[in-house]
A and B are shown apart, each in its own frame.
Chain A
Amino acid sequence: MRRLPTIALILISLLCPLFVYVAEDIPVFGDPNSPSIKYVKVFSIGADALEDDLNRSVIPNSLMAEFEKRGFPGPSRVEKDTGVEGEWNGFVSKEEMHYSREEKYYWIKKEGDNLGVYRYAFVVRWIEKGQRETNTPNMVTYGLADYRGYDTLGETAVIFTAGVSVILLLRRRGRL
């Protein structure tokens, strides 16, 4: 009888450090620059002489080759981030039919001697361009009904299925 509580105690004490580690790993709540909210790291590259090119809005060939080697779409335009030294935004031309617009896609940042290349998370576009793209002021609504339309269609189908199954199980007169 004493074995089960002992095993449970060991498991719980093993879980505690795990939870502490996970809680330490979560970005600070509300921090707009936390990695999972704003960007995902793609690669980093040596910064020698690339910085001047980027400041003149020229895309260096070595950077372009690095993008192609990793299978990412190369940026069509690079622009200096307003007001911040050593940060650039990379734009990508979207190839969507009737809706080809430039997307802010890469974020290039100087880190010591290297240039870190990050990819913007979808949330950045959601926040910055959503109202202009959908003409709807409520961020939750255009997310729910437009950007995540498939998801909401599935949710509605789930509710419909729940109702139909209750009809089939509980309505004993045997017709819909």
Chain B
Amino acid sequence: MIPFIQLFSLYVIIHGASGPGGGFQGGVVFGSSFILYVVVFDITRGRKKLPESLNTTLSSLGLYIYAGLGLLCIIVSSGVAQYLNYGFLPFTSHFEENRAVSIELVEIGIGITVMAIMISIFFDLAWKEETGSSREE
């Protein structure tokens, strides 16, 4: 079931430009697939699937993609374009095509951040302490 949910979330992110969907929604669906895994199996096995360091890296990676894409516009056009003016990126030869491609990349960045933050918050709330878990109850 989980691979199908993840496939569906990728579909939501990729088709954000042509149908309903987008980075926020797709990221939430992707994160909920991991949460479902933890609910069905065990939290330690879920943590093994997605280690803590990778989770933190992913959560900042999406934001870096977004902000870096904006900064790349200034660098590539050597200061002519404004921040986040995607048309100047050299992906394709057309101004409008550049914007379409950059919208997709930005959606992917949003999706990665939302997914990682969802999982991170869930693990932090659900994590049981290794020692002294009975003391708290």
Using a CB–CB distance below 8 Å, which chain A residues touch chain B? 97-99, 132-138, 140-142, 144-146, 149-150, 152-153, 155-157, 159-160, 162-164, 166-167, 170-172, 176
- A98 CA to B77 CA in the complex, in Å? 10
Contacts of A159 in B (CB 8 A): 113-114, 117
User: Would you give 20 A-B contacts (Cβ < 8 Å), ordered by A?
Assistant: A97-B80, A98-B87, A99-B87, A135-B94, A136-B18, A138-B20, A140-B22, A141-B22, A141-B103, A142-B103, A145-B22, A146-B86, A149-B106, A156-B63, A156-B66, A160-B63, A163-B120, A163-B121, A164-B59, A166-B124
Using A97-B80, A133-B96, A141-B107 as known contacts, say yes or no to A153 and B66 having CB atoms under 8 A apart: yes
Residue of A nearest to B106 (CB): A145
The majority secondary structure among interface residues of chain A is: helix
Q: Is the Cβ of B67 less than 8 Å from the Cβ of A153?
A: yes
Chain B residue contacts of A170, Cβ below 8 A: 124-125
Partner of B18, one of A137, A149, A164, A176: A137
Cα A125 to Cα B72 with chains together (Å): 27
Give B103 Cβ to nearest chain A Cβ, in Å: 4
Contacts of A135 in B (CB 8 A): 94, 96-97, 99-100
Q: How many A-B residue pairs have CB under 8 A?
A: 105
Indicate with 1 or 0, residue by residue over B91-120, a CB within 8 angstroms of chain A CB atoms: 000111101101100110110011011001
Taking CB atoms, residues of chain A closer than 8 Å to B97 are 135
Give CA–CA (A162, B109) in the complex, Å.
Answer: 17
A137 touching B120, Cβ below 8 Å: no
Contact in complex: B84, A163 (CB < 8 Å): no
Given contacts A98-B88, A145-B107, A159-B114, contact A132 B124 (CB under 8 A): no
Query: Do B117 and A160 have beta carbons less than 8 Å apart?
Result: yes
Distance (whole angstroms) from the CB of A135 to the closest CB of chain B: 4
Residue of A98, A132, A134 near B103 (CB, 8 A) is A134
Describe B's contact surface by its main secondary structure.
helix
Contact check, B121 vs A149: say whether CB atoms are below 8 A apart: no
Asked if A99 contacts B95 (CB within 8 A), the reply is: yes
Checking B17, B121, B129 against A162 with a beta-carbon cut-off of 8 angstroms, the contacting residue is: B121
B interface list, Cβ under 8 A from A: 16-20, 22-24, 56, 59-60, 62-63, 66-67, 70, 77, 80-81, 83-84, 86-88, 94-97, 99-100, 102-103, 106-107, 109-110, 113-114, 116-117, 120-121, 124-125, 127, 129
**Besides the known contacts A98-B87, A142-B103, A159-B117, 20 further A-B residue pairs in the complex with CB atoms under 8 A apart:** A98-B80, A135-B97, A136-B17, A136-B99, A136-B100, A136-B103, A137-B17, A138-B20, A145-B102, A145-B103, A145-B106, A149-B70, A150-B84, A153-B84, A155-B24, A156-B62, A156-B113, A157-B63, A160-B60, A160-B117
CB < 8 Å neighbour of B99 from A146, A150, A155: A146
Chain B neighbourhood of A156, CB < 8 A? 62-63, 66, 109-110, 113-114
Inter-chain contact A134/B121, CB cutoff 8 Å: no
